[in-house]
Amino acid sequence: MVDIARLLVNHGAFVTIITTPLISTRVKTLIDTVNASKLRIQVVQFEIPLLEFGLPEGCESLELVPSRAVIRNFVVAFSKLQTPIEELIEKKKIEATPISCILADKFNHWMEDVALKFQIPRLIFDGSSCMNHLLLHNLFKSKVYENVQESKPIVVPNLPHRIELTKSQLPLELNPEAKEFRDLNEKVRTSQESAYGVVINSFDELESDYVKEYKKVKGDRVWCIGPVSLSYNNDDGTQDHVGQRGNKSKIDIDSCMKFLDSWPPKSVVYVCLGSLNNLALAQFQELALALESCNSPFIWVMKEDDATRSEELKKWLLESEFEERTKERGLIIHGWAPQVLIFSHNAIGVFLTHCGWNSTLEAICAGVPMITWPMFGDQFFNEKLVVQILCIGEKLGNEIAIPFGKQENYGANIRRETFVEAIQKVIGDGEKKEERRESVRKLAELAKKSMQLGGSSYVNMNMLLEDMERVTFG
C-alpha cells in the first residue's frame, strides 16, 4: 500500500495513509524519504481496541495473531476504526481538503459503509492477481465446487486455460476448512462486488488473458498498476530506498550482500515462505536437511517465531547445530529480510516460495525462476500461473492445502529428496533450466517497461486518476 501511495504521489496525487501505530513505524522511513521532496503523503494512525477483544498488545497485523481461534476477534477489533475514520473525513471536509477517493483493503468490508455515507468512490485492493480475482468470480458464479468429493478435481469454468483444483486447495472464501469464517467472507465478497473498481498489483503483459476477462466482469474498472515494488527503480537501473521496504530487517544488509558476493552467478537458493506460514517440526527438519544435502549455497529466511513458537523446534535447532554445520554456505535470516534487494543480486539462482503474490511478482521482476510450494489462500492459483501458464517454475507437488492457523496438525508432506530434486532441476542440469530462465528474464524486462513512461502500468495509473477526477468532480 505504501508502494502504491508512492506511485500515486509520482502521478500528482495527495495521499492520506490510515494505519495503526505498529505499521506506522514500519513505513515511516520510506514515507519520510518521499515527503522530504514532495510533502504529499500524510500518515494518520489510530489505536485498535485490542485488549477489549482479548488480543495481546501490539497485535496489529495478521501474522501477530496468536492463534486461529482469535482471528475473528482481530477482524472485529479492526472494524472499530470506522468511527475515527469517519471523523477524519468530516474534519478534512471542514478544512477544505476533502477525500475524493478511498482505496481500501478488501477485508475491511466496513469501509463500504464509510464510502456510502460520504458518497466517495471506493476502490478495492487485496494484493492478488487478476487471475485470482477471475477464478474466484467464476467459482462463485458457477458453484462447481459444490457436491464435489474432497479428492476430485474441480475444473474452473470459462477461463483462458484449463485450471484444475481440489476442494482443499480453494482459497479461504470457498474452503471447507474455513467454515467458521463463512459469514465474514460473505461480507467481504458482497462489499467487493459493490466497490467502484479494483486496483491490481500486476501488469497487463504478465496475465493479459485474465486482465481482459476480468475487465469484462467489472465493466473495465480494473487497473493493473504494478509491479509496485519497481516504484524504487531509477531509469539507470539503480534502486532508491528499496532496503527500507517493510519491517526492519534482522540482518545487516551489507553482510547479506557480502555473502552473496562470495558466490557465482545463479548459484544461491533463496528460501522464504512468507509471514503467515508456520511449518510443522517434521517438515521444518526435512527442508533443513535438504538444504544441507543439496550442496548449494542458500539463504533461508525463518520467521522469528519459527525458532521460538515450539520448544521442540528450538531444541532441534540447538542440538542439531544446523546453523553451525551449514555456516560456510548458508545464511539464516531470523525475521524480516530485504527480499527485493536480495533478488537484485546476480548470485540468486532460484527462489523456493510459498507462492504469495508479492513474492511471486518480486521474483519475476528480478528474473528469478521459482520452486513452488503453495500452502493456502490464492497460493495454489499463483502456482498454476507460474508453472502451468508462464512456465517459469518447478512445482514440489504439494497437493494438500495447509489452512492458516492449523499448520501444527500437519507433518512432513514434502520429503528432502523432493526438495533436492527440484533444486537440481532449476539450477543444476535440468533439461528446462535455460528455457525457464530465459522466459522469466523476458518477463522481468516487460515488468520494468510497464512501469516506465508510456508503459501499460504507467498509463493505467494515469487513467485511474483521470477516472477518479471525473467521478468526483464531473
Domains and CATH numbers, the chain: 2-230+451-473 (3.40.50.2000), 249-446 (3.40.50.2000)
* Cell of residue 126, nine digits: 487485496
- Which of 31-45, 125-139, 342-356 is the least confident region? 31-45
Grade residue 222 by pLDDT with cuts at 50, 70 and 90: very high
Other CB atoms within 10 Å distance of the CB of residue 361: 23
* Cell of residue 106, nine digits: 478488501
Other CB atoms within 10 Å distance of the CB of residue 473: 7
- Identify the pLDDT of residue 96: 86
Dihedral pair phi/psi, residue 302, rounded to 5° = -100, 135
Given a cut of 80, is residue 243 above it in pLDDT?
A: no
Judge contact between 102 and 118, C-beta under 8 A: no
Grade residue 421 by pLDDT with cuts at 50, 70 and 90: very high
Q: How far apart are CA 56 and CA 305, in angstroms?
A: 16
Q: How far apart are CA 426 and CA 370, in angstroms?
A: 8
Higher pLDDT, 243 or 380: 380
Higher pLDDT, 339 or 413: 339
Sheet of 370-372: strand order equals: 330-334, 298-302, 268-272, 348-353, 370-372, 393-395
Higher pLDDT, 168 or 471: 471
Q: Which amino acid is at 229?
A: S
- Identify the pLDDT of residue 237: 53
Judge contact between 53 and 76, C-beta under 8 A: yes
- Identify the pLDDT of residue 200: 97
- Identify the pLDDT of residue 464: 96
Judge contact between 299 and 327, C-beta under 8 A: no
Q: What percent of the chain has pLDDT over 70?
A: 90
- Identify the pLDDT of residue 366: 96
Grade residue 307 by pLDDT with cuts at 50, 70 and 90: very low
- Identify the pLDDT of residue 40: 84
pLDDT in tens, 441-452: 999 999 999 999
- Identify the pLDDT of residue 239: 52
| β-pair type (370-372, 348-353) | parallel
Query: What's the rounded mean pLDDT across residues 298-323?
Result: 77
Grid cell 537440481 — which residue? 424
Q: What is the DSSP letter of 249?
A: P
Q: How far apart are CA 241 and CA 248, in angstroms?
A: 13
Kindly list the distances between the CA atom of residue 154 and the CA atoms of 167, 207, 208, in Å, as whole numbers in the listed order.
7, 22, 23
Q: How far apart are CA 338 and CA 342, in angstroms?
A: 6
Q: Which residues pair with 43 in a beta bridge?
A: 17
Given a cut of 80, is residue 247 above it in pLDDT?
A: no
pLDDT in tens, 261-293: 999 999 999 999 987 777 888 889 999 999 999
Judge contact between 55 and 27, C-beta under 8 A: no
Given a cut of 50, is residue 216 above it in pLDDT?
A: yes
Max CA distance (Å), the chain: 68
* Cell of residue 228, nine digits: 509496485
Q: How far apart are CA 100 and CA 115, in angstroms?
A: 10
Grid cell 492520506 — which residue? 16
Q: How far apart are CA 358 and CA 376, in angstroms?
A: 15
Q: How far apart are CA 170 and CA 176, in angstroms?
A: 8
Q: How far apart are CA 414 and CA 377, in angstroms?
A: 19
Angle at CA of residue 347, ends 7 and 368, nearest 5°: 50
Given a cut of 90, is residue 346 above it in pLDDT?
A: yes
Q: Which residues contact 162 (CB under 8 A, 6 or more apart)?
A: 155
Given a cut of 70, is residue 235 above it in pLDDT?
A: no
Q: Provide the b/e sequence for 297-313 (b: ≥16 CB within 10 Å).
A: bbbbbbbeebbeebeeb
- Identify the pLDDT of residue 308: 43
Q: How far apart are CA 112 and CA 196, in angstroms?
A: 10
Grade residue 28 by pLDDT with cuts at 50, 70 and 90: confident
- Identify the pLDDT of residue 101: 94
Q: Which residues contact 137 (CB under 8 A, 6 or more apart)?
A: 214, 217
Query: What's the rounded mean pLDDT across residues 388-410?
Result: 83
| β-pair type (164-165, 154-155) | antiparallel
- Identify the pLDDT of residue 39: 64
- Identify the pLDDT of residue 394: 96
What mean pLDDT value characterizes the chain? 88
Grade residue 251 by pLDDT with cuts at 50, 70 and 90: confident
Task: Specify the DSSP element, H or E, that contains 204.
Answer: none
